[in-house]
Structure 1
């Protein structure tokens, strides 16, 4: 399953690279270049269009101006999402934070308040600086080479307490299949974070919309607050608002 997700992701990246080179291409031309069916290309382009990375008109695909956002700019966006999330946390709050890099951007500011931060990302210890007023609790568990913890011990930690807020990032957001992640080990931990959080905020940049990874960790309706950037189309955000989800867009 993981390979399948990787192949789809790589193919969509290749579509964007081809469009950067040729400016515009037809569905047929993309199909021939990629060696896949036109139906597959059309499905990929629909996803990229939902994420505002391409535009489609009468079978012709072109890049949107928004696609110029590079990796450095994307990291800056993720940082802004994390900072916005931290503003909503108050003294004495218990906060669950999953292992997502976007969610981790909230931790330094949250720890400056008199909070209790519980996470399965061992990398959070680097934020224990002199100006920290909060308490950092690592979940424990089976640690990956990246310092991400999962397994029975990690799950027990999140099930043994209840948080005021859960702050999570994800690999994909789909209205049909929910919030998703590519890791089966982390999926269970994430589900327990969702289950035992009184309120849940999802931090997601524009690239996560219209995407499904391998494992669903939450339904759209589990979200209380969505924090995203300004590149997500209004029509998509409207669908969240219709479900009673608060939406904050950060420049």
Structure 2
């Protein structure tokens, strides 16, 4: 299957998921008419969405998965979802990190992908509460040491906050909060469990929500990393409103209607990967 066909499938499934969440359920025959595809194509799309755990198939259609707002999947479970989208988002976000800047990198699998894209940017100071992200920088520096010089010129200075470890390998709680409160960042890159107009940025972990609030308050610029499946999802605790966000980096699977809603509320929307080309979409462009 060609890349264009893959992209069309991803966009189609994003539209289906948006309909399921907005309407509380969809029927196969409705989707075939709306999307102008075959019954078999719609059923394959619903199978794919069901495997991702975002819809539940029922007779003749699908409904949203009734996931508890406090449920927090582990890092490995989340890392297996939307891999290509996360890599596209990471590459686009890395272009927003200036040489010599002080950045904050919050936890999550998309932030982990971003860490891998940041290792070649010189002279960064990176403060993170992600054990996985810190390991990325540590491994890169250790590999460089083993192959030659004791320290790579311009290698990042990495500070791990400390704190209590969550299922997503993120450090939270009073220790992390105190460290973050005392610092000031040029830019914060932060992943989310969910993002919506009503709830803003949210997470199922109460302690993580508090730590994220401190990250947001300590940054001059807040950049959210969220693939299209996060739109419309709401976790137990909101930690920032959309008007506190300076930019959203997402993937081309985000439906046009959602793009329009976001572009009306945020100064910058970056759509990464095939179909987006990392393009900035200014407010009111839709």
- Which TM-score applies when normalising by structure 2? 0.64
Asked if residue 154 in structure 1 is aligned to residue 162 in structure 2, the reply is: no
Give the superposition deviation at 1:137: 0.5
Equivalent in 199, 205, 216 of residue 227 of structure 2: 205
Give the superposition deviation at 1:244: 3.9
Equivalent in 28, 46, 49 of residue 23 of structure 2: 46
Give the superposition deviation at 1:68: 4.3
Q: Which residue of 2 aligns with 1:94?
A: 102
Q: Which moved more, 1:172-181 or 1:234-243?
A: 234-243
CA–CA distance in 2 between the matches of 1:114 and 1:66?
A: 46
Cα distance change on mapping 1:87 and 1:156 into 2, 3 Å = same
Aligned residues: 206
Give the superposition deviation at 1:56: 9.3
Q: Which residue of 2 aligns with 1:164?
A: 186
Asked if residue 117 in structure 1 is aligned to residue 94 in structure 2, the reply is: no
Give the superposition deviation at 1:100: 1.2
Cα distance change on mapping 1:240 and 1:159 into 2, 3 Å = same
Q: Is the 8 A contact 1:111 1:135 kept in 2?
A: no
Q: Which residue of 2 aligns with 1:83?
A: 91
Structure 2 residues not aligned, in runs of 5+: 1-18, 53-79, 145-151, 274-286
Cα distance change on mapping 1:56 and 1:87 into 2, 3 Å = same
- Which TM-score applies when normalising by structure 1? 0.72
CA–CA distance in 2 between the matches of 1:186 and 1:73?
A: 21
Q: Is the 8 A contact 2:108 2:168 kept in 1?
A: no
CA deviations on 1:192-225 (whole Å, 9 max, x unpaired) are: 1111110011111111111111110110111111
Cα distance change on mapping 1:182 and 1:208 into 2, 3 Å = same
Q: Which residue of 2 aligns with 1:234?
A: 256
Structure 1 stretches of 4+ with a deviation exceeding 4 A read 42-45, 54-58, 61-73
SS of residue paired to 1:136: strand
Asked if residue 108 in structure 1 is aligned to residue 116 in structure 2, the reply is: yes
Q: Is the 8 A contact 2:228 2:253 kept in 1?
A: yes
Structure 1 residues not aligned, in runs of 5+: 1-41
Q: Which moved more, 1:78-87 or 1:163-172?
A: 78-87
Cα distance change on mapping 1:147 and 1:244 into 2, 3 Å = closer
